[in-house]
Chain A
Amino acid sequence: MPELRFSPAALAEVKRLLAHYPADRKKSALLPVLHLAQNELGPHLSVPLMDYVAGLLEITPIEVYEVASFYTMFNTRPVGRFKLEPCRTGPCALNGAEDLIAYLEKKLGIRDGETTADGLFTLKSTECLGSCGSAPVMQIGEDYHENLTFAEVDRLLENLKQRAGR
């Protein structure tokens, strides 16, 4: 478990974000700060981490929980080191999205929504990513991987494993 405190750089970022909103509207910074918390101290938003964010923004913990659980990008439950998010929606489904998801399930030996036993990958199909013209597409972290072939998926997963030192 990483220590539940932002680095000085992240704290400076919180300060910058808070300056975007009126002084009496600190709660407005909740979404950007949750993104920051998940990136810095994640990959999932544990209850103590959400409580920490609540303290920073001077709001109640429940206000953080209800928001974190509403938005799909926030992981309120533990996830693998890398979250693989292939698009499953209509336009992509016309161009191989279903095959891509099935391939990932087979390759990783898990079902959509599950995490591999080694804790490396979570597979979570997602709705339209705004990349329908480059289907099939998968987001990993902030990166878009478009016009995917199975060979490229193999390469991507290999690279991620190496990055994790496995």
Chain B
Amino acid sequence: MILEHAGNAEARTLAGWRKLGGYASVEKALKGMTPEQVGEEVKKAGLRGRGGAGFPAGLKWSFLDRKSDKPRYLVCNADESEPGTFKDRYLMEHLPHLLVEGMIVSSFALGAKTSYIYIRGEYMYLLRLLEKAIGEAYAAGYLGNDILGSGYSLDLHVHPGGGAYICGEETALLESLEGKRGNPRIKPPFPASQGLYGCPTVVNNVETIATVPHVLRMGGEAYAAIGVGKSTGTKLISASGHIKRPGVYEIELGKVSCEEFLLSDAFCGGPKNGRPIKAVIPGGSSVPVLPLALFLKTAKGEARMMSYESLADGGFVSGTSLGSGGFFAMDESACMVRNLWNLTRFYHHESCGQCSPCREGTGWMEKVLHRLEAGQGRLSDIDLLVDIAKKIEGNTICPLGDAAAWPVASHIRHFRHEFEYHVKYPEKVKDPRHGEREPVAMPK
């Protein structure tokens, strides 16, 4: 649905996008609906935020403080920096007008007169592409004053980040948009009452906003009929790692099994080097890793499906999370200690440094992991890591602390034997490519 015209180069121009039915939702909403009715359809659709947390978009919109006499803002989160995630980039590159269209109807629903797309600075070429699409939309009367004679006016701008994962966190993003360091704010107050410039603000992910035109086109109820249960609609999954067919796939939530997604040629196509897949991180680096067996089947032995609920089945003991849809798979040659050290280095590097458990804890974990990986660790280091992770979790201003703790807990929970191996056979792990060169170093 979302990616329907992604392969069609015509879709990238306004004229082409219109020919394909584009901007119909703007006509429909601005000319024939009230903002409340648009919000109602999004609620009925059961659309959940696609940025990672899966919070219902309609509900979030309903929290927006509409009584305040301050301006309201819609800010699109295009900061996409969660390792393994590259779906928003694909969407914006192939369907820039779908995002612009979504921003117009969503801003209308929220009563925003100015809206922003906050895009990570590394995507500067996409910023230029979006600005071009926005320019076309102004020229065609879909943006600016009195859009299509409806009386509704909207300005839309793109704002670049400067290279900081933390700016994906919505309050850090707002700080950054105000020209400051990306330090997350203490909540409450929530952006719905005090967001950008202290005004009521909604922050939504690119994919969430790009789905709204489809919800309006087909109606909220019809959208909710796609998918399974509370996992309504479709989700973009960016797949990478040791698989044959990396790329961005759109799946109907709950209708594709994890086995099919990993092995079928319609999706990942199975392992690429002929070695069996050992582990999967299905929702971006922050969600728990699962060993293959638990990825394919829940602890109860049921086939696991690609949906919010099924991936979460078993909680963090035997389950994981759909997260951002940043899916990556590791085969038998991957060293889980090295993988965790790498990811922990990432969180340490990206910690904004405001809270000591996150700032110090991530640095400490990185150090301990580095020495384990180099064959200089002790057995007690393994429980030390679990302990540090526990002390970070829940004790920080923003969820980056949790995001750094979960991979540590899950890597050790499911692959403790690999950590022990590093302590017991230091000479075998001296070569940094031990995973690949010495598969024996990674016993089952």
* Interfacial residues, chain A to chain B (CB-CB below 8 A): 20, 22, 25, 27-32, 34-35, 57, 59, 63, 66-67, 70-74, 88-91, 93-95, 98, 126-135, 139, 142-144
Contact = CB atoms under 8 A, between A and B. Distances in A.
Contacts of A74: 162-163
Interface string B231-243: 0000000111110
A128 B239 contact: no
A31 B342 contact: no
Chain B interface size range: 35 or more
19 contacts: A20-B116, A22-B197, A25-B178, A27-B180, A28-B177, A32-B159, A34-B162, A35-B124, A91-B328, A93-B339, A93-B342, A127-B83, A127-B346, A128-B285, A130-B85, A132-B328, A133-B247, A135-B240, A139-B122
B424 interface: no
Nearest to A139: B122
A71 B163 contact: yes
Contact of B122 (A31, A57, A66, A130): A130
B346 A128 contact: yes
B328 A94 contact: yes
A126 B162 CA distance: 13
Nearest to B162: A71
Contact of A132 (B124, B125, B326, B350): B326
B285 A90 contact: yes
Q: Counting chain B CB atoms within 10 Å of each CB, which of A22, A70, A71, A131 scores highest?
A: A70
Contacts of A132: 83-86, 238, 240-241, 246, 326, 328
B339 to A, nearest CB: 6
B330 interface: yes
Interface in B78-94: 80-86, 88-89
Interface in B150-182: 157, 159-165, 176-182
Interface of B: 80-86, 88-89, 116, 120-125, 157, 159-165, 176-182, 197, 238-242, 246-248, 285, 326, 328, 330, 334, 338-339, 342-343, 346, 349-350, 352, 432
Contact of A128 (B84, B125, B178, B197): B84
Contacts of A30: 179
Nearest to B340: A90
Contact of B164 (A70, A88, A135, A139): A70
B163 to A, nearest CB: 4
Given A31-B121, A128-B81, A128-B346, A133 B239 contact: yes
B161 A90 contact: no
A134 B84 CA distance: 11
A128 B350 CA distance: 11
B241 A91 contact: yes
A31 B160 contact: yes
Contact of A127 (B81, B240, B246, B339): B81
A20 to B, nearest CB: 4
B2 to A, nearest CB: 17
Contact of B121 (A22, A29, A35): A35
Given A28-B159, A127-B83, 14 more contacts: A27-B179, A28-B178, A31-B179, A35-B124, A70-B181, A73-B162, A88-B342, A89-B342, A90-B83, A91-B83, A95-B242, A126-B163, A133-B86, A135-B240
Given A70-B162, A90-B328, A132-B328, A29 B81 contact: no
A74 B164 CA distance: 11
A82 B116 CA distance: 31
A160 to B, nearest CB: 18
Contact of A20 (B157, B246, B330): B157
A127 to B, nearest CB: 5
Contacts of B120: 130
B202 to A, nearest CB: 18
B118 to A, nearest CB: 10
A130 B81 contact: yes
Q: Counting chain B CB atoms within 10 Å of each CB, which of A20, A27, A31, A71 scores highest?
A: A31
Given A27-B178, A130-B86, A130-B122, A94 B162 contact: no
